[in-house]
Amino acid sequence: MAQARRRRRAERPRGGGAAIPRLPWRKLRNPLPPIEVLSADQVEAIHEASLQVLARAGMKVTDDEARALLRSAGAEVDEAEQMVRFDPGLVEESVAKAPAEFTIRARNPAKNATIGGNHVNFAPVGGPSFVSDLDRGRRAGTLAELADFMKLVQCFDVISVAGVSPFEPLDLPPQTRHLDTYEAVLRWTDKVWSTWLLGAGRARDGIAMAAIVHGLTPEQVAAQPLTYGNINTNSPRLIDGPMAQGAMTFARARQPVIVTPFTLAGAMAPATVAGALVEQNAEALAGITLVQVASPGAPVIYGGFTSNVDMKTGAPAFGTPEQTQAAQATGQLCRRYGLPYRSSNTNASNCADAQAAYESEMSLWGAVMGHANLIFHSAGWLEGGLTASFEKLIIDVEMLQMLSEYLQPVVVDEDTLAVEAIAGVPPAGHYFGEAHTLARYETAFYSPLVSDWRNFETWSEDGGRDAAQRANAIWKQLLKDYEPPPLDPAVDEELTAYVAKRKEAIGTSDDAVDR
Amino acid sequence: MAQARRRRRAERPRGGGAAIPRLPWRKLRNPLPPIEVLSADQVEAIHEASLQVLARAGMKVTDDEARALLRSAGAEVDEAEQMVRFDPGLVEESVAKAPAEFTIRARNPAKNATIGGNHVNFAPVGGPSFVSDLDRGRRAGTLAELADFMKLVQCFDVISVAGVSPFEPLDLPPQTRHLDTYEAVLRWTDKVWSTWLLGAGRARDGIAMAAIVHGLTPEQVAAQPLTYGNINTNSPRLIDGPMAQGAMTFARARQPVIVTPFTLAGAMAPATVAGALVEQNAEALAGITLVQVASPGAPVIYGGFTSNVDMKTGAPAFGTPEQTQAAQATGQLCRRYGLPYRSSNTNASNCADAQAAYESEMSLWGAVMGHANLIFHSAGWLEGGLTASFEKLIIDVEMLQMLSEYLQPVVVDEDTLAVEAIAGVPPAGHYFGEAHTLARYETAFYSPLVSDWRNFETWSEDGGRDAAQRANAIWKQLLKDYEPPPLDPAVDEELTAYVAKRKEAIGTSDDAVDR
């Protein structure tokens, strides 16, 4: 066991930056029991309150097809108000149909991702409009920089899932930029990737391109998840047309849909952790019910994103104590329902400083010890999600790698207990030259990526660079040395042709995307 | 319950920097079950291996009186080698005599500290030779700056225990600087404080000055702990004379002794987590046995300080994944023995950057979720403990406050579940103006000390200062506004007289300190 661990650690990823230490690929599990901040009774109270909200107040659903589906399943629908009220039985039956665990195939089969149980998957930041680094500052995202960001995502095996758009490529037309983004993630990474669920068209394009990569017909896709997508409810209590269409399209293709209410306590949810969890839970269950009604048994993931705002200014806050509590409480709700759980690594800092790190750690301990299975925004998120930072990406990878190592079981056996070694070292001696030490000195402990453990004098003489400055040098070196994962030329050609064909069909028409 | 929580949060500490938000005094407990990284069998295996080490290899004890005591208690002593071998029965019987929990009196009775159970106490950094801040850089410590540091410790109620010497006042002679340091901590703080256990004299001076502050005769002191002290074994396997004398003096005065092996895996302990824990556990049990033999039933605290070194360079590393595991495993050992537990908040960064924060968070989650009762170095530690940083002090306080808030139980009742409030906000509306929100907007969530949640533009226009720069402004403001806690003039006079008298007696003689 100790031998196996050492071997794993000694491997180095192929491709760029060989001199930069990184953890090798690992199907990460959390062997520790989750931290539970709620009692079983409190979980039930939140569950019951959510059902009350869904039954009495309901959700507004602005998509006609979704409302019709829900009505036919037994929900009470007010067409004039577009309000859907859910019978508790419908919700509980629907949620019970969803699988507790499933595996999403990656184009590199070694990197398939299992979602559920005690599996932990880290996905990079997604969604910002801006990108930043120490050299060029903060600016609008472009496709070229998105490709660079994706290449870095590929460089780190601890980022087990590639996501899709670490930031928006704002240099491209909005109607077709999803195609370029999908192509970039499929070309520069070989990991599980995500599709945009903003309308049926973008969802179908994701499915079609996944089918190309795996050499399947779109019909065959339904046999196994090949990608995943996330919808956010427009909290409070609204599921809009594009989100509903995206979710239903994915559900029918049996691709996993994450339903994530955007419940910042004090703004889009009550100013209490319990109340925000009720709001989140009601909206998540409504979205999951829609998915199950559209396609019973389709894979879904419960998304928790409850944090709070600064009550004095309304500014969003992340990595707060309340977010940590909510993340662990959400894990309890997910386990109650037997659903996989998505959480996030967030912070509200404007630069990659101590605040960015401690808020991220509070998020990560909330998510990881809440037993989240898929952790969005794990690497690169800054400014409350408005910016993707190249330096924060590197610093986050260090934090993720440290957590991944922390989750490796402590090996306790005769060899590691080292009684003979201890007896052999004289009082006030040292272990540096001991056989027990030399046998494992290369792989005994985690080797850091960014952390600088040199003494103050050496560090000062070498420029006294802080973690962000060191991270800057690391991502540049990795990009310089990057080598793309192999892609079958026939698949490459087919992908390119698909994107070209769809771009021609869509043009600059908003409507054509979904036709 | 919710009302009580709000009231607590609304309080502001009296004294300096009224505009700077801080958590009020709180007797912090960790209501969550500890994280346990070891199985019960693994705990037993480490325990058994430690007993083997103590029985076969033993500890070198260079103090004659300590060896004599241990021999009379049944240990096997080799006087030529100064080696003491411990029978497992002696160790187990001795450890069983120590109390599981006790309270240390502060000069402000509201700030008494309970050590044991699920109590959590944060003490500031202790021990460095250097002090640093952004304005003046890194320099040798002085008494004047030590006083400033202590004043800041007093400003933050989350630092529930004052410690003693955040750094050494190197401007003072080594033989008497402990007296000035004790006087400073007693004058500038009203919290539980620590005594140096470097020899019997410094321990006796601490007891004498505690007696003065509490208006007791030195003989009456034994009725209740009034201070505490820490000894480090000289790992591996050595208890030196000054430490033994300090520990025995304190034990006989029934003041709590912390026994902390200095077990950096790969240097002073084997290069495995399990082996380093065996080394730590053997040495801690040896020290605790000495204390119990000297004074059965005297309060002791098990100190865990296992981290690792960088195996390539031998440099100490802190806040590593291995340290987090060791901290939580140590909690398991302490609970097995029914002993209170001391851990640390550490990092190896050379500046108050992201590394300093994420390594500290890894330490803190290890300590807090390992159910440490007293966490040394909680605020201000930098450079692997070589420097006390004014900015890191502030950043650490933010992290401590966030953890303190995280540990407050989530309140789930009709009021916080907020079903009516949720039903009253229209879909895609917001909660800002709602009665439920307004009723709690001032106290709903944690108010940060250092975190800046303003948007990028506002933050940039205001100078774009990172967390360390903002921390710099905070400690200066707090020092400007600082007001000392009231001290009875008669006590003040008596303290001053004691210090003067002892300084005269000691002069610059190393021997006179202990006479």
Residue recorded with tokens 């005269």: B504
Q: How many CB pairs (< 8 A) connect A and B?
A: 405
Residues B289 and B70: their CA atoms lie apart, in Å, by 8
Mean pLDDT over B458-469 rounds to: 98
Contacts of B362 in chain A (CB under 8 A): 361, 402, 406
Interval A275-310: pLDDT, tens:
999 999 999 999 999 999 999 999 999 999 999 999
Q: Where are the alpha helices (DSSP H) in A345-455?
A: 354-369, 390-406, 414-417, 419-424, 435-438
Residues A13 and A153: their CA atoms lie apart, in Å, by 13
Residues A79 and B283: their CA atoms lie apart, in Å, by 74
- Strands A59-61 and A83-85, by their bridges, are antiparallel
Helix, strand, coil percentages in chain A from 3-state DSSP, rounded to 5: 45, 15, 40
Q: How far is B134 from chain A (nearest CA, A)?
A: 13
Interval B272-311: pLDDT, tens:
999 999 999 999 999 999 999 999 999 999 999 999 999 9
Q: What is the dihedral of CA B422, B424, B426, B430, to 10 degrees?
A: -60
Ranges assigned E (strand) in B18-158: 59-61, 76-78, 83-85, 101-104, 113-116, 121-122, 130-133, 137-140
Q: Are the C-beta atoms of A21 and A448 separated by less than 8 Å?
A: yes
Residue A35 in contact with partner chain B when CB distance is under 8 A: yes
Residue B354 to residue A351, Cβ atoms within 8 A: no
Q: Is this model's pTM higher than 0.90 or not?
A: yes
Contacts of B62 in chain A (CB under 8 A): none
Contacts of B236 in chain A (CB under 8 A): 422, 425-431
Whether the pLDDT of residue A47 is over 70: the answer is yes
Nearest CB neighbour to B35, from listed A32, A356, A456: A32
Residue A455 in contact with partner chain B when CB distance is under 8 A: yes
Residue A208 in contact with partner chain B when CB distance is under 8 A: no
Interval B135-144: pLDDT, tens:
999 999 999 9
Give Cα A95 to chain centroid, integer Å: 22
Q: Are the C-beta atoms of A356 and B354 separated by less than 8 Å?
A: yes
The residue type at B307? S
- DSSP secondary-structure letter at B409? P
Residue A259 β-bridge partners: A231, A302
Structure tokens at A8: 């794993």
- Give the best residue of B50, B361, B391, B461 to mutate against chain A (max A CB count within 10 A): B361
Mean pLDDT over B312-328 rounds to: 97
Give the model's pLDDT for residue B446.
97
> Dmax of chain A from CA atoms?
84
| pLDDT band, very low/low/confident/very high, at B11 (cuts 50, 70, 90) | very low
Residue B368 in contact with partner chain A when CB distance is under 8 A: no
Residues B195 and B186: their CA atoms lie apart, in Å, by 11
Q: Give one word for A84, left, alpha or beta, with left for phi > 0 and alpha for psi -120 to 50.
A: beta
Structure tokens at B298: 């005297």
Give the model's pLDDT for residue B16.
47
Interval B362-391: pLDDT, tens:
999 999 999 999 999 999 999 999 999 999
Whether the pLDDT of residue B10 is over 90: the answer is no
Contacts of A440 in chain B (CB under 8 A): 271-272
Angle between helices B273-294 and B321-337 (to 10 degrees): 40
Residue B476 in contact with partner chain A when CB distance is under 8 A: no
- DSSP secondary-structure letter at B511? G
| pLDDT band, very low/low/confident/very high, at A18 (cuts 50, 70, 90) | low
Residue A313 to residue B35, Cβ atoms within 8 A: no
Residue B428 to residue A236, Cβ atoms within 8 A: yes
Whether the pLDDT of residue B13 is over 70: the answer is no
Percentage of chain B with pLDDT > 70? 97
Residue A460 in contact with partner chain B when CB distance is under 8 A: yes
Interval A158-211: pLDDT, tens:
999 999 999 999 999 999 999 999 999 999 999 999 999 999 999 999 999 999
Q: How far is A55 from chain B (nearest CA, A)?
A: 10
Mean pLDDT over B432-450 rounds to: 94
Q: Which residue of B has its CA nearest to A235?
A: B428
Residue B444 to residue A329, Cβ atoms within 8 A: no
Interval A49-103: pLDDT, tens:
999 999 999 999 999 999 999 999 999 999 999 999 999 999 999 999 999 999 9
Contacts of B444 in chain A (CB under 8 A): 265-266, 271-272, 308, 311
SS3 B138: strand
The torsion angles phi and psi of A104, rounded to 5 degrees, stand at: -100, 130
Give Cα B15 to chain centroid, integer Å: 24
Contacts of B460 in chain A (CB under 8 A): 350
Interval B27-53: pLDDT, tens:
999 999 999 999 999 999 999 999 999
Contacts of A459 in chain B (CB under 8 A): 350
Contacts of B316 in chain A (CB under 8 A): 453
Mean pLDDT over A451-466 rounds to: 97
The rounded mean pLDDT for chain B is 95
Stretch 267-306 of chain B: residues touching chain A, C-beta under 8 Å = 267-275, 278-279, 282
- In sequence order, which residues have a C-beta less than 8 Å from that of residue A443 and are 6 or more positions away? A5, A6, A9, A10
Find the distance separating the first CA and the last CA of chain A, reported in whole Å: 55
Give the model's pLDDT for residue B9.
42
Give the model's pLDDT for residue B18.
59
Q: Where are the alpha helices (DSSP H) in B407-445?
A: 414-417, 419-424, 435-438
Residue A359 in contact with partner chain B when CB distance is under 8 A: yes
Residues B364 and B485: their CA atoms lie apart, in Å, by 29
Q: Are the C-beta atoms of A257 and A229 separated by less than 8 Å?
A: yes
Give the model's pLDDT for residue B441.
87
Give the model's pLDDT for residue A442.
86
DSSP letter string, B365-388? HHHHHTT-SEEETTTTEEGGGTEE
- DSSP secondary-structure letter at A450? S
Interval B483-501: pLDDT, tens:
999 999 999 999 999 999 9
Nearest CB neighbour to B419, from listed A53, A399, A409: A53
Q: Give one word for B511, left, alpha or beta, with left for phi > 0 and alpha for psi -120 to 50.
A: alpha
Whether the pLDDT of residue A338 is over 80: the answer is yes
Q: Are the C-beta atoms of A196 and A164 separated by less than 8 Å?
A: yes
Q: What is the dihedral of CA A305, B5, B358, A465, to 10 degrees?
A: 110
Give the model's pLDDT for residue B1.
34
Give the model's pLDDT for residue A375.
98
Q: Which residue of A has its CA nearest to B443?
A: A311
Residue A69 vs residues A64, A150, B41, B86, B142: alpha-carbon distances, Å: 9, 38, 54, 75, 75
Q: Are the C-beta atoms of B13 and B26 separated by less than 8 Å?
A: no
ipTM of this predicted complex? 0.96
Contacts of B429 in chain A (CB under 8 A): 236
Give the model's pLDDT for residue A10.
39
| pLDDT band, very low/low/confident/very high, at B223 (cuts 50, 70, 90) | very high
Residue A80 in contact with partner chain B when CB distance is under 8 A: no
Which has the closest alpha carbon to A148: A390, A352, A382, A474? Answer: A390
Residue B435 in contact with partner chain A when CB distance is under 8 A: no
Interval A124-161: pLDDT, tens:
999 999 999 999 999 999 999 999 999 999 999 999 99
Selected residue with higher pLDDT from A219 and B313: B313
Structure tokens at B211: 């007696």
Nearest CB neighbour to B423, from listed A56, A325, A454: A56
Q: Cα-atom radius of gyration of chain B, to the nearest Å?
A: 24
The residue type at B390? F
Residue B410 in contact with partner chain A when CB distance is under 8 A: yes
Residue A165 in contact with partner chain B when CB distance is under 8 A: no
The rounded mean pLDDT for chain A is 95
Give the model's pLDDT for residue A271.
98
